[in-house]
Structure 1
Amino acid sequence: MVVDSGSTDKTVEICREYTDKVYHRSFRGHIQQKNNTLDLASHEWVLCVDADERISPELAREIEAEFSANSSVYTGYFLPRRTYFLGRWINHCGWYPDYKLRLFKKDLGRWGGINPHDRVTLKGGATKNLTGDLQHFSYDDIFGQVNTVNKFTTIFAEQMEEQGTGFGLCSMIFRPMGRFFSMYFVKMGFLDGVPGLVISVMGAMYSFLKYAKCWEMQNTRNKNEGRK
C-alpha cells in the first residue's frame, strides 16, 4: 500500500505497476499523515517505510524468519536504520543504530511525538530489536541537508508555539554546543571523517535554529498582542 501526498513526478504511475492500493492524502503533518495511512491498512501487521528508505535484503530475510518462528510472541519490532550521506554509510554521530519501531500490530500502535519527529507508541506487549538494516537515503548533498534542516526546524518551532512552550537564551547558546560535543566526540562522529564533521555541525545548527525560531515566533506574537 502506498499513500502519496501530491508528488509531481512518476511516483504514482510506478507504484501502480506493483499494487492497486495507491491512495492520495493531502499532507497535514507527518504524524497525521502516518495515522491516516495506518487507518487504511487492512492486515494485522503493518511495516512502515518512508519514501527515502529501503528494506535491506538481510532485513527482509530476518523478518520472514521471525514471523515463521515467533509470529505471536511480539507486538512490535525495532529496525536499525542506517543512513547514507556524502558517499558513505554513517556509523557514528548517534546515527547508527538509529532504532525505529516500524513493524508492529496495527491495532496496538499509533503514531505520536512532535512534528516532524514522529514515533510509534504501542499500547502493550513485548518488542524486539532486529539486526538487518533499514536503509535511509536522506540527503543527496549538503544543500539538501540544509534545506531539510530549515524546513524541519520551522515545523518544530510551529509545534512548540502551538503548545505554548517557551525557550530562553540559554537554550540557544548551550544546547547547540552540547549537541556538537555529543555527536562529534561522545558519539565519535570524527570516525566518519568529513561527513561526520558535517553532520555534527548541522546537528548543532538544527538545535540552534529550532530554539531561535521558537523565540522569533513568541517575540512576534507578544508584539502583536501588545498592539491590541
Structure 2
Amino acid sequence: MTEFPITLAVITHNEADNIARCLDSVPFAAEKLVVDSGSTDDTVAIAQAHGARVVHQDWLGFGPQRNAAQAMCAHEWILFLDADEYLSPALAQELQEKLPALMASDIPAVVLRRSTVFMGAPMRWYLPSMGEKMARLYHRGRARWSDARVHESLKYDGDAPVLNGRFNHTNNPTLVHKQLKVLRYSELKCRDWLDKGKPVRMWQAPFVFWLAFIKDYVFRLGMLDGWRGFIVAQTAATYAMYKRMRYFEMRHNPESVALAEAALHRHGIDR
C-alpha cells in the first residue's frame, strides 16, 4: 500500500463503536490524527491501537474544533472525516489513483460524495443521503473551516473537483441518538444566533415546519423511501421548528442558557 503525505483528521468524543472502522478505511494516509475532547469510553485506546496519534483538546464547537485539529496536522493536505464516517473501497481506490495529480495541483479542495445509512440500511431515494457533496479533502494553506459552533463548512476560493466514489455515514443508529443530536445541535445553533443578535421571528415556526417537511418528503424524494423517508422528513422539520422555539426561550428567559447547558452536561450531550 502506497502512503501519501496527507493527514486523516477525526474529532471524537465517545466514539469507541466507530473510530476503528473510520481509521482503517484510509490505509494510505501517512498520518492519522484523532483530536479527542475527553472521551470516557475506549475511544482513545482503540484509536491508538489503529495507528492514530491522539491529542486532547477541550471542546470548542465544531468549526473551532476542526480548525484546532487542522493546526495539529503534520501534513499540508488533510482528509477530514467524522468518526461515524468511512471511505468505501471504491473511493479509497479512486483517491489512491488520483492523489498524486490532485496534490501537485493548486486546487484548494476536493469534493467527496457521502451516502447515508439510516435505521440500519442505506437510503435508496432520499437525495441528501444519495451522494451529498461535501468538501473534505483540502490543502490547509488554501482552506479553513468556518467558526460556527455547528453546521460548519469548509471555506475556500476557486473550484474544487468532485470525485465519483462515495464515503459512508452511519447516521444516528437509533432515533434516540437522533433526538439527542437535535437537542445538542439546536443549542449550538441558537448560541450562534444569540451571539449575532438575530431577531426573534417566532411567527415563522409553523411555516418553517411544513416547508421543511415538504422539502424533504416531496422535493428531496423522502416519500420514495417509505416510512423511513417520512421519519427523516418529520425529524428534519421538527429540528427546524425546535431551534426557533428554543431561541425564543433564550431571548425571553436568558437564565435558560446556563440552565440548559448544565442539563446537557449532566447527560453527556454537550459536545
Report the TM-score, using the length of structure 2 for normalisation: 0.77
CA distance in 1, matches of 2:165, 2:50: 24
Aligned to 1:215: 248
Aligned to 2:57: 25
One-letter code of the match for 1:82?
A: S
Aligned to 1:226: none
2:76 aligned residue (38, 44, 52): 44
Q: How does 1:1-228 map to 2 (within 5 A)?
A: 1-19=33-51, 21-73=53-105, 74-90=107-123, 91-112=125-146, 114-122=148-156, 124-221=157-254
CA distance in 2, matches of 1:125, 1:46: 18
Of the structure 1 ranges 140-149 and 65-74, higher mean CA displacement relative to structure 2 is found in 65-74
Unaligned runs of 5+ in 2: 1-32, 256-271
One-letter code of the match for 2:218?
A: F
Work out whether residues 78 and 100 of structure 1, in 8 Å CA contact, stay in contact via their aligned partners in 2: yes
Unaligned runs of 5+ in 1: 223-228
Work out whether residues 153 and 213 of structure 1, in 8 Å CA contact, stay in contact via their aligned partners in 2: yes
Shift of 1:87: 2.1
Helix, strand or coil: the match of 1:130?
strand
Helix, strand or coil: the match of 2:186?
helix
1:170-220 alpha-carbon deviations (Å, 9 max, x no partner): 321211110000100111101111111100000100000001111111111
Work out whether residues 93 and 196 of structure 1, in 8 Å CA contact, stay in contact via their aligned partners in 2: no
CA distance in 2, matches of 1:177, 1:114: 26
State percent identity of aligned pairs. 27
Q: Which has the higher contact order (CA 8 A, sep 6+)?
A: 1
Work out whether residues 61 and 148 of structure 2, in 8 Å CA contact, stay in contact via their aligned partners in 1: no
CA distance in 1, matches of 2:232, 2:137: 28
CA distance in 2, matches of 1:127, 1:101: 8
CA distance in 2, matches of 1:32, 1:132: 28
Of the structure 1 ranges 44-53 and 15-24, higher mean CA displacement relative to structure 2 is found in 15-24
CA distance in 1, matches of 2:164, 2:170: 18
